[in-house]
Structure 1
Amino acid sequence: MALPPSAAASATLTSQTDPLLRQTTFSYDSQRRTTAVTEAAGTPAARTTTLGYDPLLNLPVTITRQGLTESRSYSAGKLASLTLTDTTAITVPYPTGGRTRTWSYDWLPTGQLLAVDGPLPGPADREVMTYDGAGQVQTHANPLGQVTQVLARNAMGKPLTVRDPNGVDTVLTYDALGRPLTVTVDPGPGQSQYAMAYDPAGNLTRLTMPTGGWLDYSYDGANRVTQITNDRGEYVLFQLNAAGQPVLDSTHSADGTVQRQTARVFDELGRLLRSVGAGGQTWQIGYDKVGNPVSGTDARGKSATTTFDRFDRPVTSTNEENETENFAYTTFDADLTEFRDGRNLATATVVDGFGQTVQETSPDRGQIRYWYDEAGRTVQTIDARGVTTAFAYDAADRLLSEVSTGPGLASQTLSYSWDSTAGGNRGIGRLTGVSDPSGAEALVYDAQGRVVQRSKTIGPRAYSFSYAYNANGQVTAITYPSGHIVKYVRAADGRVTKVRALAYAGGPTIQLAGAIAYKPFGPLSGWLQGNGLTLTRSHDGNYWLTGIELSGGAGPLLGMTLSRDANGRVTAVADTAAPQRAASYSYTDAGRLDSASGPWGSDDYTWDANSNRIRVDRVVGGISASDVATLAPGTNRLAEVRDAAGVLARSYSYDPAGGTTEITRPGFASIGYSYDARGRLTAVSAGGAVVASYAYDWREQRVASSSQAGGDRHYLYGDDGELLAEYDAASGALVREFVWLDAMPLAMISGPLASPTYTWITTGHLGEPLLLTDAAGAVVSSV
């Protein structure tokens, strides 16, 4: 029943109180439009947002809150401009109040958005759209004029062909209901086509990948996914509660055997209360009355807590050992103004009205200042050493250069280039080149945006990798700078089944790994090495690694088993093939390493409230010794280490940004460390004489080293940061290359290029190499 006017007016919401008794109040104008909202009303933390309206339109023209004002203008009822004005009173490191950022919007008479002009001065950051006769987007041009086009649509208005700025087409087909049936990227010999199928209710029932692998989806009567099955017959089952939340999900092999499972308990509000692992390990979460997670209990029964402010922002975090971190914020949003660690040391930040940090003062890395342009991009920083780094961008917000200069330091310049199309490179919209103090890197892409060649120079030396892919976009071959080729044979679902190596194109093939197996929807479980040895990786019902075995005809060369606590941390290591490898570990309530014993002896560790290791008591060969650390006052920097009797063992010095500059040991030459303008370690000296130097590329990877012990080396890496090759810097000769399987090193290649030596690598649970075996399956190195 409609309320009479007086009743309707009295029904206007003026205040709202949540279950924690926090009150929000509302004010209105004569037209009953909201003019003010005050959160945490009646408390010292109260914050108010006010709104002003266009006199003719029922649309806000100003939205004001502490530190920021948003102004809007309209044209024919459409947003014409949006201006953000910083109203903070910050003066240090520079005045921030009064700065503005404005976006402008152009519209067609038919109501479609024609252009957006960003906050940079002039039209440099303007984006433009065009439309077809039906009012549907036909082209979109970014600020650089790079155009994405819709070339054709069907009668339903669905795009049939979309062309990207590199001229590459994506073609789509649909069923009679407008659901996509196929998506074909770069139609032709190198195309990738995805296919979809549906049930009568419109649910996706099969997704077929370009290489032929597929996933099937099953649903219950409420159209909720209950099973996912792959083309190997492996599947994941979901048991759902009435609200559709998964109370049990289990992963099965094709024969139905459960391989992994997790159970969950939710409350009536749909919040996760408990998560139970396959071994009964239970993690619990507690909430306050408004749904903030205020407590967590791990599978060992150890609890941590979090408290929240009136705006649901965490203000304290107390770990399982009752050590507390504290957080403070700006009035609005979740922008930190102070963080206090477990030792109560504060890192303070000054935040402007746009929510960006303009100054950070840290007890460990000193003071850093930040400057931004109208688009909110960082244009300059000055660190605690006085090093200034200037950043430049193009109109599409892509980084063009970084220049770092500082007192007594050589200038460091990184330059980025984009959009190269030379030699058929499909580089428009992509990073195609970088130069840095160590050298340069060039990237060549195929039609689908995959890197097919990566050329790198380090000093005077040039190196190049080339890549081949399957239709899924997964790597199938890598050609190393030496000419060695590594091929990854993949099944229809994309998983690697074999790894092969060729010394040169057309040369004989060496199988590095075969019969590669995976857990269903999970990690690698083993393979047959090319030297005849079999590697098996065992996992429990949580897919935690529990064993690694390397065996051959003469028995196991590695028989490692891993024991874990309820949280999954390793507590014991045993090896039937090498009992001397046995080790045990224990942990504090907060998960820090408490003690460790193994071939090295035994260690007991003491930590402070910020996880600084402040003492180690060790026993080696029946002899006891201790390292007792002292931190520099008001910091987390290690100042000195003494033995249990108080005798100084070593002391440390730092630069203003927290980089270690010297380690001094009584009776020994001091060790010095030097850094470049980008803060990277460039030289190590002993007694004032340089004993090692380093160079880095734009990815912050060490690409060159020079040392008295190891000579001069160049290092090359893959896209995930994995070391792929090491070369002699002086001669350019190959030292060694590495072959990877997923995230694990599989083999090492060394020796003459035409007839290389292959060495297989077996790693432990941390990815650390444990055994090296030769082509005959014999151990050539063991840790």
Structure 2
Amino acid sequence: MAEVVLPDGGRWEYAYDGLSRLVATTDPAGGLWRQEYDVNGVVSATTDPTGVRVTQRVSADGTRRSFSDGAAGGGVATDRLGRVVAVTGDDGSDRLVSYDGCGRPVAFTDAVGNVTRLRRDSAGRVVELVRPSGARTSYSYDGCGRLAQVTDPAGGVACFSYDADSRLVGETWPGGERAWYAYDECGRVTARHVPGYGTTRYTYDASGRVVGLQDPMCGRRRFRYDQVGNLVEAVSGTGGVTRYEYDQLGALVAVTDPAGGVTRYERDGHGEVTRLTDPLGRVTTACYDAAGRQTSQTGADGHTIGWEYDCSGRFVALSYDGVVHHRVERDFEARTMTVTETSGVRHVVCWDANNRLVSRSRGGQAVSWGYDADGRRAWMRSPGGARTGYEYDPAGRLVRVESSVFGAVAYEYDASGQMSAATAGSVRQEWEREGGFITSHLVRQGGVVSHTAVGRDDQGRVAWTSRDGSHTAYTYDEANQLVEARTEDGTARYVWDQAGRLAAETTAGGGDIAYSYDAAGQLTGTSTDGVLSARFSYDAAGQRIREEHADGTVRTYRWDTGGRLEQVTIDSALERSRTSLFTDAMGELAAVDGQGLFWDTATTIPALLSAGGQDVVSVPGFTATVGAGWQTPGWRQAPTTSTTGADVWTTTTAGSPLTTGPGAGAGLSFGAGGELLLPGGLEALGARVYDPASRGFLTPDPQGPTTGAAWAANPYSYAANNPVGFTDPTGLHPLSDAEFDQWKDQHKSTLAKAGDWIGDNWEYLAAGAMVVAGVALMFTGVGGAAGLALMSLSGALTSGGISMAQQKHDNGSVDLGTLGKEMAIGAIP
């Protein structure tokens, strides 16, 4: 094949040598990709259009392959039978695999020498997994060879059941909770139920595409496709229709939201988005190099972000409007990365040989972490020297946290590994669950007892809460948006438009508030009882810059060129304040009014560690500050929500003041759920700042929404328009309570995760076949970075593409019963 002509006229051209080997590929944008071969005909090097060259060398006997891009390299070693026996990383450390006489993997040695062993039966099935700590997980099978039971190191047993076609239909957890799956006659998953989350249902068309979906997060959704399988319509549970248009190549070129707003995309020969026009006509443009790496982005406000790469194609510098903001240096052998800001501030990040984050410093002040043989966090040290230690039971569940500043927290669990009690000093919390959902929460403190009961509807949503006799009932629409909160003192009602924007609100006191928006979903004004009460203004980037209230209060916001809040000014009859914020090159809020902030970034959701030199600790079930000691966030353990009452948008408590010395910002405090509270009632939630008073974020979501969700067309939406059941601690995507608990409690290791090690290392269990395939894939000659889609550019990428999430955390085992369903849903943009 010499040429491929695409429907839009684009051409792929291929050139070969005298032995018919592919040596050059020219893409539709004119980029030339080259391949070289050794004397044995094996690909020895590839060069992309920008000159980045990757080489591969194969030993004479074919058992060792090494590769390098000039800056870093690695290798794979196999035995004479082609089985992978060692993988060498960039730092030169090896990960080893051992086999039994039948060629089956039986031992894995990580880069620091910890060994995980597998014991097999005569049929070759894994019957026991022994972790480096000695903890043992056992597996048993039925007469058909299907996994029947998993017993965790603490003795908890999970059972699995199948239908006549060997499809997984049920799971029984150690505590008796049941998960189940249903299928149609074609073997497709039509329903699944997960304890603590709820039931998800699917319907399909004749081509096997998902056309209907109902889940606990978004309620009902419907999808329609064109004749070639492109999604052309997504309908939310409230009837809002989002339409999608495509070009001749099937690339998305326009999205029309339920309110009629149109967002358009233009692309280059690589298919990368080069121009985005929003519903207000504001234009954002992007440029890429010949290999598809994004080199710049110019927003509607005229500011340009630039990315610079080295000769190996790695990101090395970020600039704003042509001025370098910071540079990045990497030492692969030492496993360190140094980020130097033009101000002179240096950040040094270090990982161990197993790619776990072990230290990071800013300006000489460091946070460090240590791990046990099983890879679980063993300790953490704050910049001030405070040490926090972690202990686990045989099943890997966190049972004790001890802080050198605040003392110890002890945890207890039920049979299924769900937290049932937590004790810190004189404060004890107890939880009861039914079907995986919390039904009761008890807090005992200094002789005072507080009890919260929780009721659920048939879809698993919170139907009511009762705290110490104060009862609140909740009602939702078909898209799972909150529409009513009823208490004895009154009822709060919420009306959402087709685009998921709050159109009207009736407060518990009887006041009526109307909200108005522009075509981009920006809040432009509110009226209370028919009288204009506030006006809101935004800049060209969609960031709120000014509020004018009827009582004379004026609030202004100033943003840096990277889109991060850097100043809040409040001018009213009762208050005049100015708060300065600084976000560093790592994309983290590093200071408020000059008081330094440090974060625990070795977690999925970063938690505040220190403010102005004052230690803060956030652990499952508790947060602690010097001024207030241990605090409980409530029955949900989720921040920025009230556990009872009609006002569900504000934080549970006023928070604990962070007394950080002279110059500390007035009003800066730390919420019981771990959230950083800023002056004016604002809450710093990861990539964005949340304003409870206006029921949304101050800036648009930098990531794309869930397709078909009622709030998908509202880029300022908070917690899926349902803060009773959801939260958004990262500012990037709403999480259900079950998802939040799983994300935040990184130490949790329930039986549901008993098989995660095998799942994480399945390529080794397949005798390294996928490792070899992955190495080969590197040398196909066509590839390179796909570039950053403008509509999904995250805050972390805006700050330089530096992610602290490079250490591996357990995410649970693969859900075999829904694998096919997940593949189908993956086709929905």
TM norm. shorter chain > 0.5: yes
Q: Which residue, out of 337, 350, 354, partners 1:444?
A: 350
Aligned twin of 2:330: 418
Partner residue of 2:59? 132
* Gap regions ≥5 residues in structure 2: 640-650, 657-669, 674-829
Distance 2:269 2:531 in 1: 52
The partner residue of 1:177 within 74, 99, 102 is 102
**1:619 counterpart SS class:** coil
Question: Which residue in the other structure is 2:469 paired with?
Answer: 579
SS in 2 for 1:252: coil
* Candidates 150, 153, 156, aligned match of 1:234: 156
Whether the 8 Å CA contact 1:486–1:739 is kept in 2: the answer is no
Shift of 1:655: 0.9
Q: Equivalents in 2 of 1:568, 1:356: separation in Å?
A: 41
Q: TM-score, normalization: structure 1? A: 0.76
Question: Which stretch shifts more, 381-390 or 646-655?
Answer: 646-655
- Whole-angstrom CA distance in 1 between matches of 2:110 and 2:634: 39
Q: Structure 1 residues 74 and 203 mapped into 2: Cα distance closer, same or farther (>3 Å)? A: farther
Counterpart-to-counterpart distance in 1, 2:413 and 2:11: 59
CA displacement at 1:589 relative to structure 2: 1.7
Task: Between 192-201 and 434-443, report the one with greater CA deviation.
Answer: 434-443
* Aligned partners of 1:365 and 1:656 also within 8 Å: no
> Counterpart of 2:599?
716
> After superposition, what is the alpha-carbon deviation per residue over 1:36-75, rounded to whole angstroms, capped at 9, x for unaligned?
xxxxxxxxxxxxxxxxx3xxxxxx5435442532222223
* Code of the aligned partner of 2:103: G
Conserved 8 A contact 1:652-1:660: yes
Query: 1:683–1:690: 8 Å Cα contact kept in structure 2?
Result: no
> Partner amino acid for 1:701?
E
**Residue 383, structure 1, aligned to residue 299, structure 2:** yes
1:594–1:244 distance in 2 versus 1, CA, 3 Å: same
Which one of 526, 537, 547 corresponds to residue 641 of structure 1? Answer: 526
Q: Is the 8 A contact 2:91 2:332 kept in 1?
A: no
Alignment correspondent of 1:547:
440
Given the alignment, which residue of 110, 131, 138 partners 1:209?
131
Q: Aligned letter for 1:653?
A: S
Matched AA of 2:349 = L
CA contact (8 A) 1:426 1:446 kept: yes
User: Which position in structure 2 is the counterpart of 1:57?
Assistant: none
In the TM superposition, 1:620-639 aligns within 5 A as: 620=509, 624-632=510-518, 634-639=519-524
So what's the TM-score if we normalise by structure 2? 0.72
**What is aligned with 1:663?**
547
- d(CA) in 1 for partners of 2:55, 2:197: 57
Match of 1:513 among 385, 394, 409: 409
Q: Which amino acid aligns with 1:697?
A: D
Match of 2:614 in 1: 735
Aligned-residue offset at 1:351: 2.2
Cα distance change, pair 213–70 in 1 and its aligned pair in 2 (3 A): farther
| Alpha-carbon distance in structure 2 between the residues aligned to 1:225 and 1:317 | 38
CA contact (8 A) 1:416 1:434 kept: yes
Kindly state the Cα deviation for residue 320 of structure 1 after the two structures are TM-superposed: 2.0
Shift of the 721–274 alpha-carbon distance from structure 1 to 2, 3 Å rule, reads closer
Task: Name which one, 1 or 2, has greater alpha-carbon Rg.
Answer: 1
User: Is 1:603–2:492 an aligned residue pair?
Assistant: yes
CA positional deviation for 1:306:
1.1
- Give the distance between the partners of 1:683 and 1:158, measured in 2 at CA: 58
Shift of 1:700: 2.9
Report the 3-state secondary structure (helix = DSSP H, G, I; strand = E; otherwise coil) of the residue aligned with 1:473. coil
* Aligned counterparts of 2:26 and 2:158: Cα–Cα separation in 1: 50
Distance 1:426 1:279 in 2: 40
Query: What is the Cα deviation at residue 140 of structure 1?
Result: 1.6
Match of 2:783 in 1: none
Q: Deviations over 1:182-229 (max 9, x none)?
A: 11123xxx5221111222222222222222223323333443323322
Tell me the equivalent position of 1:148. Answer: 74
Partner of 1:496: 398
The structure where helix makes up a greater share of residues is: 2
The CA distance in 1 between the partners of 2:215 and 2:234, in whole Å, is 15
Q: Which of the residues 218, 223, 232 maps onto 2:145?
A: 223
**Aligned counterparts of 2:197 and 2:316: Cα–Cα separation in 1:** 53
Native 8 Å contact 1:498 1:511 kept in 2: no
Residue deviations 1:424-443 (CA, integer Å, cap 9, x gap): x333xxx3435376944211
Q: Aligned partners of 2:220 and 2:90: how far apart in 1?
A: 53
Contact kept, 8 Å, 1:326 with 1:340, in 2: the verdict is yes
Are positions 1:704 and 2:591 aligned together? Answer: yes
Q: Distance in 2 between matches of 1:338 and 1:587?
A: 31
1:66 and 2:8 matched: yes
1:194 paired residue number? 116
Structure 2: distance between partners of 1:300 and 1:493: 30
For the residues of structure 2 that align with 1:174 and 1:702, how far apart are their CA atoms?
A: 48
Q: Alpha-carbon deviation of 1:782?
A: 9.3
Structure with the largest fraction of strand: 1
Q: Secondary structure at the match of 2:480?
A: coil
**Partners of 2:341 and 2:218 in 1: how far apart?**
52
The CA deviation at 1:289 is: 0.7
> Which amino acid in 2 is paired with 1:612?
R
Counterparts of 1:245-260 in structure 2 under 5 Å? 245-253=167-175, 258=176, 260=177
Residue identity matched to 1:641: T
Q: Identify unmatched segments of 5+ residues in structure 1.
A: 1-52, 54-59, 86-98, 504-509, 729-733, 752-756, 774-779
Bigger drift between 275-284 and 711-720 goes to 275-284
The answer to whether 1:525 aligns with 2:420 is yes
Q: 1:302 deviation in Å?
A: 7.0
Measured in 2, the distance between the counterparts of 1:671 and 1:552 equals 39
Residue 763 of structure 1 aligns to a residue whose secondary structure is coil
**In the aligned structure 2, how far is the partner of 1:277 from the partner of 1:748?**
33
Q: Which residue of structure 2 lines up, in the alignment, with residue 29 of structure 1?
A: none
Q: Distance in 2 between matches of 1:211 and 1:276?
A: 34
Report the Cα offset of residue 686 of structure 1. 3.6
2:508 is aligned with what amino acid? V
Matched residues, percent identical?
Answer: 21
Cα deviations across residues 91-147 of structure 1 (Å, max 9, x unaligned)?
Answer: xxxxxxxx22222111223232211222213xxx21111122222333222x12423
Match of 2:428 among 525, 528, 534: 534
Equivalent residues of 1:299, 1:566 under 8 A apart = no
AA in 1 matched with 2:260: N
Q: How does 1:771-782 map to 2 (within 5 A)?
A: none
What whole-Å deviation, never above 9, does each CA across 1:130-184 have from its counterpart, x for those lacking one?
122222333222x12423245x654434344443231322232211122121111
Residue in 2 that maps onto 1:330: 247
Bigger relative contact order (CA 8 A; separation at least 6): 2
C-alpha spacing 1:365/1:450, structure 2 compared with 1 (3 Å) = farther
Which position in structure 1 is the counterpart of 2:320?
Answer: 404
Alignment partners' CA distance in 1, 2:606 and 2:415? 23
How far apart, CA to CA, are the structure 2 residues paired with 1:281 and 1:490? 29
* Counterpart in the other structure of 1:650: 534
What letter corresponds to residue 639 of structure 1 in structure 2?
A: T
Distance 1:693 1:263 in 2: 51
Distance in 1, matches of 2:335 and 2:588, equals 26
Query: Could you tell me whether the CA contact under 8 Å between 1:102 and 1:119 is conserved in 2?
Result: yes
| Correspondence for 1:677 | 561
Conserved? CA contact 2:216–2:461, under 8 Å:
no
Match of 1:482 among 384, 389, 408: 384
Q: Do the aligned residues in 2 keep the contact of 1:412 with 1:677 (CA within 8 Å)?
A: no
* Structure 2 partner of 1:285: 202
